[in-house]
Structures are given as structure tokens and as C-alpha cells.
Chains A and B, each alone.
Chain A
Amino acid sequence: MLLDADGRRASALPRLTGDDEHPAFLPGGRMLVFDGVSSPGAPQNLYIVSTDGSGLRRLTTAGGSDPAPCVGGTIAFVRNGNLYLLSRDRRGTRRLTTRGAGAPSCAPNGRVVAFVRDGRLYTIATDGRRLHLVTRAPAAIPAFSPDGRRLAFVTTSTVPAANGDATNLAIVDLRGRPATPRIVIAADGFSGDSGTITRGSSAGLAWQPVRTALTTLAPVAGSPLATAAGPSPSASQAVALSAGGRLLASANADGTVTLFTIRFDLRGRVRSFRRAVARSVSGATAVSFAPTGRLLAVAQSGGRFSLFGVNRNSGALTPVQGSPYDVGGLGAPALAIDPAAGRLAAAGSTGSVSIYAIDPVSGALTPVPGSPFAGLDGAAADSASFSQLGTTLAVGSRETGVYEFFVDSDSGALSLVPGSPFGPIGVTLLDHPPTRARCGRVRPAPTAR
């Protein structure tokens, strides 16, 4: 059964296998994973299906039950009484335990799985490391809270007066050591079936998601605006906003660049949004503002780029002396300007990275000593980004991965970070200086626990 979140509409999926059990939404909410059997008496395996009942597909052939989807796309599940992890591409499985496991629940960050072994609650990292006994209290059916800090589970306690056990719902705070479960609903108030809990089968727990502010988008008055006056303005294929948010630049399919001005009122709300200037820049494919908003770099086909001074009031563009610059190759170079607007990096299809010093007055570019710098293994660059402090430069290539360079603070010279290139093909960058790159580093296969 599928039930709308407001509880108003319920719909039933058709029977999909011989015995459909343990449904769970995959991230995104458009697919379900569940365990089923191909025929009566056959072993359980994992299946996925769209929420409309279409696209049924079996994920495992060697057995699988109790799926617990992880936000990263992997799925924790039980096979032959142990915990396994199905890879996000659904092609490989990793065994996480060898001494028994059941009732998995994946943490919201996708890095930890909670499970039950011999009636006790454990967690283990999804790389198979850091097995941890959470509590010695009897436990079944764990469920991570939406913030990942707590686990709810079903526990039992002896009731001497009744000469038997009582079933309770408990919550344990994972931040505390030692972790002591807090019973939140005593036996009389919990509707669980103690027999079902003992077997660890179909009963389940679910947290009400913590509803924080829901972020949506509203168009600013005036949107959308044509990229040019006239009957058929060209499609926008790249956009950039200046750091102050007062200018929007668009690189258009016909090779032109259009600037738009944005005005704010005293309360910071957009007061006007207008097209300011459209300028022909041969083969323009991408635009990038300097953090100061006073320079606009435009990548062009044929291994060239241009730099323009920007009038921040009118949006008028003035070519910087020396533009366009040529870095070689056929495609458009990937451009990045460092946070201090002191240097510009241009990486093209020639397998090298050019670093220019930006004249603080005229904006003119001068190659720093040693530029261009090799190190891309001859690969074409697709993206470039300085770190927030400008001390490192990452250059992405869809062909080979991410190349990271140290930037000499005095000379601007580049030196390749050992281990480059990192990661799989295709990159984009999130600039947070305190943390290290963590892309695609290969770790040894963990020992099964």
C-alpha cells in the first residue's frame, strides 16, 4: 500500500512477486525496494519497482531481505543472516558482518548502518569498519532519527509482577557515552506485537521527519528576460552572478554576452531586474566574474578567452588590454579567478594550465613565471576552481579526473598535489577550505566483521 503523507489517499500496488515484504522508499521517493520471492518457496531476493508499480526489477540473485536504503544510493540488506551492502550501481555487494546481523537501518548520512545481532543493537560503518555495540539492552527493529543522532528501537524488560516481559519503545542518544536507552513508551502504550518483535520480521519503526524550513524558489519580478532585443533572442548557455549580486552575465548560443543589472531596495529585496548590455564576443561559451565584480572573464571557442572591465552600475563592458588571450587548443578554456582577484587560471585542451597575474589597475594579464604549467596528462580541462584562500587550484577533466595544484602564494607557480588526478570523470567543486579533497581515494577492502 502507498499512502500520501497527509493520509488522505491510499493506493495499492499489485502483487509483484510471490511474497512482497519490507518495502522502503529509495532516495527521491520515486522507487521502492522490497524483498520478494520469484515463486512460492523460493529464496527471498531484493526487487525495485516504481511507485506506480512499473519497472519491476530484481536486484539480487543470491538472496536478500530486509532492505534499508541509504541516502547515497547503496542498500543495506540481510543475506544468510549477515549484513551486506549493495553498491549504488547495483552491480556489487559487500559483506559487512560475518557473525550475524538483522533488521538494518541506514543513518541519514549514509555512512553507518544500525543492526541487531543476538538481540543487541550495533552500528557499523558502511566500509565495514568501526563495529560498535550501542547498548546492551535487548533490542529489535532499530530506526535512525532524521538527524542521525538517535536510534529508536524496540526493547523488552522483565516484569516480575506479571511474570513475563514487557515490550517498550526506546530511544538511545548516539552522542552519549555510555549510551543509555531512554524508554519513551511503556508496554501499555506501545502497540507493537512482541511476538513479531522477537522474530524480527515485519514490524517496523519510523520517525516523523523533522520539518524545517522548506526552501523553494519564486521568480523575481521581470523574469524571464530575453537575452537580446528582437524577435528571436539566442538561448542562454551559461550564466554567472557577480559577488555583490548586482550583475548577471549570460553567455548565449550565438556567441554574444548579455549583462543584466539587479537593483535592491533598502530591505535587500530586488527592486528591478533589467537587461543592460548585449555584446558580441566571438564564440563565447562561459562567463565568470572576478570576486570584486569589476572583471568578467569570457571563455571562447578556439582556446581563447577575453577579459572585460565591468561598469557595475551600467553593466557596460570594456575589453582589457590584450584581450582576447590565447591558451591554445580547440575548445573553450576553463577559467577561474582567485578570491583576491590577483590571478587568473586558464586550462584548455592542451593539457596545461596557464596562470596570469592581473594588473590591479588596468586588469591586463601577464603570465607568471613558468606558465603554462603541465600536469594534466595531456587531458582537456573542463572546469577550474580556486579554493577560498587561493592556495589550491582544482582542474577537472572529464577524461581523467580532478587535478589539484598547490599555488605558490608569492609567484603563483603551480605544483601538482601528489595523487592527482583524483576521482572519477566529471567534476564540480564545492569550496570549503578547512577540509581536504575526498574524491575517489581508493581504500583497502575492509576486513569482514
Chain B
Amino acid sequence: MTIAAGNGPSGPLTDLPGSPVFPVDPVIAHAFGPDGSLAGTTGPEILLAGLPGFVTTDVPGVPTATGTGVNAQAIAISADGRLLATGNSGSARRGGTVSLWRFVQSR
């Protein structure tokens, strides 16, 4: 079991080699994939990264930021690592929502 320690729910992860995994602040929610890859959200962005040895981005240790169009407050990754779900806060026009995302790999 590996424990990644952070600065509470609103801070970047620290204490693992490769941390802070997401050098942005605040990361308000995060979730691990089954391969050890990591997703976090700042709200409007979903950030993807691999921990050392599980790098999923093109440059080790550098996360991918994805503009989502939603304000994600919660995040989960499926056990098979194929899907990512976000729970989103509401807006004046559109109330609370959930989103389902699939991972896409491109070269």
C-alpha cells in the first residue's frame, strides 16, 4: 500500500516522489486509477498524471489539463480504468450535473 499525502482536500499532493503531482492550486478532488494514474480537478479543469512508473502523459511528471466546460467538484475512476466520472456544481442556467468521460489516447 502506498500512501500519497497532501495538504488536505484543497491542496496539491505532496510527499511522493513526483509530487506535487498537480502543481496547481487548489486541487479540490482527486482519484486514483487502477494503474496508479491520477486524476484531479480544479473545478473547470481535469488534470491527468501518472505517478512515477505509471506515467500516462507525454512528459513524465507533467499533467495534462483538460478544459471541461463543467465545474467538477468530485471525481471517480472506474475499476477498469476506462471511464472517469465527475460530479459538477450547478450554475444559474444549469443545475448540478454529473459527467462521464472516456480516456482517449492520441499520439
Asked if A pairs with B, the answer is yes
Contacts between chains A and B (CB distance < 8 A), count:
269
Q: In the complex the two chains form, is A250's CB within 8 Å of B56's CB?
A: no
Say if the beta carbon of A240 comes within 8 Å of chain B: yes
Say if the beta carbon of A443 comes within 8 Å of chain B: no
Q: How many residues of A contact B (CB 8 A)?
A: 86
Say if the beta carbon of A137 comes within 8 Å of chain B: no
Closest chain B CB from A106 CB (angstroms): 11
How many angstroms between the C-alpha atoms of A30 and B25 in the bound complex?
12
Say if the beta carbon of A301 comes within 8 Å of chain B: no
Which residues of B in the span 18-51 have a Cβ within 8 Å of any Cβ on A? 18-20, 22-24, 30, 32, 36-37, 46, 48, 51
> A34-42, A55-63, A153-161, A417-425: which lies at the B interface?
A417-425
Query: Could you say which residues of chain A place their CB within 8 Å of the CB of B66?
Result: 216-217
Closest chain A CB from B99 CB (angstroms): 4
Q: In the complex the two chains form, is B2's CB within 8 Å of A435's CB?
A: yes
How many angstroms between the C-alpha atoms of A239 and B46 in the bound complex?
15
Name the contact of A73 in the complex, choosing from B19, B79, B82, B104 (C-beta under 8 A).
Answer: B19
Query: Could you say which residues of chain B place their CB within 8 Å of the CB of A433?
Result: 1
Closest chain A CB from B14 CB (angstroms): 7
Q: Mark B45-86, 1 if CB is under 8 A from A, else 0.
A: 010100110011111111110101010011111111011111
Query: Could you say which residues of chain A place their CB within 8 Å of the CB of B63?
Result: 28
Q: How many residues of B contact A (CB 8 A)?
A: 73
Q: In the complex the two chains form, is A27's CB within 8 Å of B61's CB?
A: yes
How many angstroms between the C-alpha atoms of A109 and B17 in the bound complex?
6
Nearest A-chain residue to B40, judged by Cβ = A428
> A186-194, A229-237, A302-310: which lies at the B interface?
A229-237
Q: In the complex the two chains form, is B78's CB within 8 Å of A241's CB?
A: yes
Closest chain B CB from A445 CB (angstroms): 18
Query: Could you say which residues of chain B place their CB within 8 Å of the CB of A213?
Result: 56, 58, 105-107
How many angstroms between the C-alpha atoms of A291 and B78 in the bound complex?
11
Query: Could you say which residues of chain B place their CB within 8 Å of the CB of A146?
Result: 59-60
Q: In the complex the two chains form, is A428's CB within 8 Å of B4's CB?
A: yes
Nearest B-chain residue to A422, judged by Cβ = B3
How many angstroms between the C-alpha atoms of A292 and B51 in the bound complex?
27
Query: Could you say which residues of chain B place their CB within 8 Å of the CB of A176?
Result: none
Query: Could you say which residues of chain B place their CB within 8 Å of the CB of A361?
Result: none
How many angstroms between the C-alpha atoms of A4 and B57 in the bound complex?
18
**Given A215-B56, A223-B100, A270-B83; A235-B3 close (CB under 8 Å):** no
- Name which of B13, B30, B57, B64 has the most chain A CB atoms within 10 A of its CB: B57
Name the contact of B52 in the complex, choosing from A108, A228, A270 (C-beta under 8 A).
Answer: A108
**Given A270-B83, A428-B30; A209-B59 close (CB under 8 Å):** yes
Query: Could you say which residues of chain B place their CB within 8 Å of the CB of A111?
Result: 17
Query: Could you say which residues of chain A place their CB within 8 Å of the CB of B17?
Result: 71-72, 109-111
**Given A28-B23, A427-B3, A439-B5; A250-B36 close (CB under 8 Å):** no
Q: In the complex the two chains form, is A239's CB within 8 Å of B3's CB?
A: no
Which residues of A in the span 286-326 have a Cβ within 8 Å of any Cβ on B? 291
Q: In the complex the two chains form, is A241's CB within 8 Å of B30's CB?
A: no
- Name which of B86, B95, B101 has the most chain A CB atoms within 10 A of its CB: B95
Q: In the complex the two chains form, is A226's CB within 8 Å of B97's CB?
A: yes
Name the contact of A250 in the complex, choosing from B18, B61, B87 (C-beta under 8 A).
Answer: B87
**9 A/B residue pairs, CB under 8 Å, sorted by A:** A27-B20, A71-B18, A71-B60, A220-B99, A224-B97, A240-B85, A241-B83, A248-B85, A439-B15
Given A236-B89, A236-B98, A437-B3, list of 11 further CB < 8 A pairs? A27-B20, A109-B18, A209-B59, A214-B57, A217-B103, A230-B95, A241-B77, A270-B100, A429-B1, A429-B32, A431-B1
B interface residues, Cβ below 8 angstroms from A: 1-9, 11, 13-20, 22-24, 30, 32, 36-37, 46, 48, 51-52, 55-64, 66, 68, 70, 73-80, 82-90, 94-107
